[in-house]
Amino acid sequence: MAELVTLVVLLAAMVVAVPVAKRFGFGAPLGYLAAGLAVGPAGLGLVTNVGAIAHASELGVVMLLFLIGLELRPARLWVMRKSVLGLGGAQVAVTGAVIAALCGLGLGLPWPTAVVLGFGFALSSTAMALPMMAERGLLANQSGRSAFSILLFQDLAIIPAVALLPLLGNGSVPHADGAWMAVAKAVVAVALVLIGGRYLLRPIFHAVDRAGAPEIFTATALLIVIGTAVLIQEAGLSMSLGAFMAGVLLSDSEYRHEVQADIEPFEGLLLGLFFVSVGMGADVPTLLAHPIRFLGLAVALLLAKGLVMLVLARVAGVPWVGSMRMATVLSQGGEFGFVLFGLAVGGGAMAGEQASAAMLVVTLSMLATPFLFAAEERWFAPRLMAGKPKRPFDTPPDENPPVIICGFGRVGQVVGRVLRMRGIAFTALESSAAQVDFVRKFGSKAYYGDPTRVELLRAAGADKARVLVVALDDMEQSLRVVEMATRHFPNLTIFARARNRRHVHHLMDRGVTHIVRETFDSSIRLTGDVLRQMGMPEAEVGRTLDTFRAHDERTLIRQHAVHNDETKLIQTSRDAAAELQSLFEADREDAVQGEAEPRTASA
Q: What pLDDT shows up at residue 395?
A: 67
Please report whether residue 601 resides in a domain. Answer: no
Q: Give residue 267's domain range.
A: 2-382
Same domain for 348 and 485, yes or no, is no
Residues 345-361 pLDDT 10s:
777 778 878 888 888 88
Residue 493 pLDDT greater than 90, yes or no: yes
Same domain for 314 and 426, yes or no, is no
Residue 231 pLDDT greater than 80, yes or no: yes
Highest mean pLDDT of the ranges 16-20, 226-230, 377-381, 405-409: 405-409
Same domain for 362 and 445, yes or no, is no
Same domain for 426 and 318, yes or no, is no
Residues 262-277 pLDDT 10s:
777 777 777 778 778 7
Return the percent helix, strand and coil in the chain, to nearest 5. 75, 5, 20
Same domain for 408 and 339, yes or no, is no
CATH code: domain of residue 544: 3.40.50.720
CATH code: domain of residue 73: 1.20.1530.20
Q: What pLDDT shows up at residue 263?
A: 78
Nearest partner of 122 among 283, 358, 474, 389, judged by Cα: 358
Q: What pLDDT shows up at residue 74?
A: 67
Q: How many CB atoms lie within 10 A of CB 520?
A: 17
Residues 94-108 pLDDT 10s:
999 999 999 888 888
Q: What pLDDT shows up at residue 204?
A: 83
Q: How many CB atoms lie within 10 A of CB 369?
A: 26
Same domain for 347 and 451, yes or no, is no
CA–CA separation, 435 vs 279, rounded Å? 43
Same domain for 408 and 377, yes or no, is no
Q: For residue 403, name the pLDDT band (cuts at 50, 70, 90).
A: very high
Q: Which helix (H) or strand (E) holds 468?
A: strand 467-470
Please report whether residue 280 resides in a domain. Answer: yes
Q: For residue 600, name the pLDDT band (cuts at 50, 70, 90).
A: very low
Residue 548 pLDDT greater than 90, yes or no: no
Q: What pLDDT shows up at residue 599?
A: 47
Q: For residue 307, name the pLDDT band (cuts at 50, 70, 90).
A: very high
Own/partner contacts of 438-447, CB < 8 Å, gap of 24 or more, are 439/408, 439/413, 444/408, 444/413, 444/416, 446/408, 447/393, 447/394, 447/395, 447/396
CA–CA separation, 245 vs 195, rounded Å? 11
Q: What pLDDT shows up at residue 311?
A: 92
Give 141-197 as a 3 state SS string. CHHHHHHHHHHHHHHHHHHHHHHHHHHHHHCCCCCHHHHHHHHHHHHHHHHHHHHHH
CA–CA separation, 368 vs 299, rounded Å? 9
Q: For residue 584, what are the contacts with CB-CB under 8 A and spacing of at least 6? A: 544, 547
Instruction: Name the burial class of residue 442, with classes exposed (0-12), middle (13-18) and buried (19+) by CB atoms within 10 angstroms of its CB.
Output: exposed
Task: Give the angle subtended at the CA of 327 by the CAs of 245 and 84, to the nearest 5°.
Answer: 30
Residue 468 pLDDT greater than 70, yes or no: yes
Please report whether residue 270 resides in a domain. Answer: yes
Same domain for 325 and 426, yes or no, is no
Residue 538 pLDDT greater than 80, yes or no: yes
Residues 131-189 pLDDT 10s:
777 766 676 667 777 888 888 888 777 767 766 666 666 544 444 455 566 667 777 87
pTM: 0.56
Mean pLDDT over residues 572-596, rounded?
Answer: 58
Please report whether residue 121 resides in a domain. Answer: yes
User: Measured between alpha carbons, how far is residue 409 from residues 402, 415, 435, 509, 523 in Å?
Assistant: 20, 10, 7, 25, 20
Q: What average pLDDT does the structure give for the chain?
A: 78
Q: What pLDDT shows up at residue 496?
A: 92
Q: What pLDDT shows up at residue 171?
A: 45
CA 415 to chain CA mean position, Å: 30
Amino acid at 588: R
Amino acid at 23: R
CA 147 to chain CA mean position, Å: 12
Residues 323-380 pLDDT 10s:
888 888 888 888 778 778 877 777 777 887 888 888 888 888 888 888 888 787 777 7
CA–CA separation, 57 vs 240, rounded Å? 12
φ, ψ of residue 467 in degrees (nearest 5): -130, 135
Please report whether residue 393 resides in a domain. Answer: no
- Which of 382, 417, 442 terminates a domain? The answer is 382
Mean pLDDT over residues 80-86, rounded?
Answer: 79
CA atoms within 13 A on the CB side of 542: 3
Rounded to the nearest 10 degrees, the angle between the axes of helix 142-170 and helix 126-135 is 170
Tell me how many domains the chain contains.
2
Q: What pLDDT shows up at residue 363?
A: 83
Nearest partner of 72 among 222, 262, 240, 256, judged by Cα: 256
Note whether 401 and 461 are within 8 A (CB). yes
Same domain for 21 and 168, yes or no, is yes
Residue 412 pLDDT greater than 50, yes or no: yes
DSSP annotation of 107 reads S
Note whether 238 and 336 are within 8 A (CB). yes
Please report whether residue 180 resides in a domain. Answer: yes
Residue 227 pLDDT greater than 80, yes or no: yes
Q: What pLDDT shows up at residue 586?
A: 59
Same domain for 270 and 319, yes or no, is yes
Please report whether residue 62 resides in a domain. Answer: yes
Same domain for 523 and 475, yes or no, is yes
Residue 510 pLDDT greater than 80, yes or no: yes
Please report whether residue 58 resides in a domain. Answer: yes
Same domain for 348 and 423, yes or no, is no
Residues 4-38 pLDDT 10s:
788 888 888 888 888 887 777 666 777 887 888 88
Share of the chain above pLDDT 90, in %: 8
